[in-house]
């Protein structure tokens, strides 16, 4: 019996066309891949749902929550065996990671997109869509969390990131690599998840800021963010988790106000560690109460903090969720 897969479209380059005269790429009134379902007739029963038609820089956490609820409702009804989401690549990794934290399902959920619009030479959209449906259609894709399928590779939502502005091989998982590959004949998984986390939130209203540390950073910048009324802060720190000493007083003020601060590294490999004991070093930051996130990028740590703050804002409860 053929499986039933639903494709939920949200917009992005995969839904756009190039103006041949100017080279500009923009949204179109009709999704260029909307009539492609017939391609899968021999492999799966396909239905399509056009939820959004947005460039991914316009996707907000509210859109992510709406998408998560839509997927939950479709799967809970028992009518579908898997889900494919088409999405713009700029914020694809954030949406995929939110879905990974939000959804509670064994069924495959696969996110894909395109680096080239549908009518560009070398367009990758239709091929990635076919690959994503193939992955969602396999029994082996169950119990692996939300997956990202691009360019013949299968990545976990937690580890994947966009590494190039325009290369079709942009999505990579630094340190970890893809958990599977796609060939013309097979879907091959060579890694499996050893842990899974899910947070059944009902809303997503917390205001979490993300900043990147830099040489000579001063407290006035941190205080301005503090005064904006944020609920949490993520800092992409230097190296193993160190910060300029000039911002330490402002960070202490935030901690005193019970505003959680999550620390990740601005390096794309390695994890933050409480190693250095100098002023602004990781050991001091850890002792102050900053929470060290194990292996997450800044954007994903922000998504996770927004999610878990809907459940608690106690530092003692937040810390084990990240560390």
* Residue 81 known to bind ligand: no
Helix (H, G, I), strand (E, B) or coil at 35: coil
Q: How many CB atoms lie within 10 A of CB 310?
A: 16
What are the tokens at 247? Answer: 């911002």
| C-alpha distances in Å from residue 173, one per residue of 22, 102, 268 | 34, 21, 10
CB neighbours of residue 77 within 10 Å:
8
CA distance 57 to 72: 24
Query: Which listed residue (10, 86, 89, 95) is catalytic?
Result: 89
- Catalytic residue, from 13, 86, 91, 161: name it: 13
Cβ neighbours around 187 below 10 Å, total: 19
Q: Report in angstroms the alpha-carbon separations of 140 from 82, 89, 276.
A: 12, 25, 43
- 15 appears as a binding residue in the annotation: no
29-50 in b/e form (b: 16+ CB < 10 A) is eebbbeebbeebeeebbbebee
| Assigned token pair, 18 | 């190039």
Active site residue 163: no
126 close to 36: Cβ distance less than 8 angstroms: yes
CA atoms of 219 and 224, how far apart (whole Å) = 9
165 counts as catalytic? no
56 is in an annotated binding site: yes
Tell me the HSE value of 211 on the side-chain side, using a 13 A CA sphere.
19
What are residue 296's DSSP bridge partners?
Answer: none
- The residues facing 233 across adjacent strands are 209, 261
Q: Which residues are annotated as a binding site?
A: 56, 89-90
Q: Which residues are annotated as a binding site for substrate?
A: 56, 89-90
Residues belonging to the active site: 13, 89
């Amino acid at each position: 019996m053929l499986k039933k897969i639903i494709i939920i479209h949200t917009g992005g380059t995969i839904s756009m066309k190039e103006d041949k005269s100017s080279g500009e790429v923009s949204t179109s009134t009709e999704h260029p891949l909307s009539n492609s379902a017939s391609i899968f007739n021999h492999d799966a029963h396909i239905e399509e749902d056009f939820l959004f038609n947005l460039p991914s820089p316009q996707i907000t956490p509210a859109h992510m929550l709406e998408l998560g609820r839509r997927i939950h409702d479709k799967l809970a009804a028992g009518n579908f065996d898997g889900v494919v989401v088409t999405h713009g690549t700029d914020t694809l990794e954030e949406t995929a990671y939110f879905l990974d934290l939000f959804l509670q399902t064994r069924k495959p959920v696969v996110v894909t997109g395109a680096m080239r619009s549908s009518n560009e030479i070398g367009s990758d959209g239709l091929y990635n869509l076919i690959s994503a449906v193939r992955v969602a259609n396999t029994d082996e894709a169950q119990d692996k969390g939300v997956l990202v399928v691009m360019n013949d590779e299968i990545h976990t939502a937690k580890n994947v990131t966009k590494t190039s502005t325009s290369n079709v091989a942009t999505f990579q998982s630094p340190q970890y690599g893809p958990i599977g590959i796609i060939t013309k004949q097979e879907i091959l998984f060579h890694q499996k998840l050893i842990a899974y986390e899910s947070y059944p939130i009902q809303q997503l209203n917390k205001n979490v800021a993300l900043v990147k540390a830099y040489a000579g950073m001063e407290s006035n910048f941190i205080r301005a963010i503090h005064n904006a009324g944020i609920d949490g802060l993520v800092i992409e720190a230097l190296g193993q988790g160190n910060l300029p000493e000039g911002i330490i007083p402002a960070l202490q003020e935030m901690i005193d106000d019970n505003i959680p601060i999550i620390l990740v590294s601005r390096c794309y490999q390695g994890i933050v560690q409480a190693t250095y004991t100098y002023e602004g070093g990781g050991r001091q930051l850890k002792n102050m109460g900053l929470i060290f996130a194990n292996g997450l990028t800044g954007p994903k740590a922000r998504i996770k903090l927004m999610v878990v703050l809907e459940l608690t804002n106690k530092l003692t409860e937040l810390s084990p969720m990240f560390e």
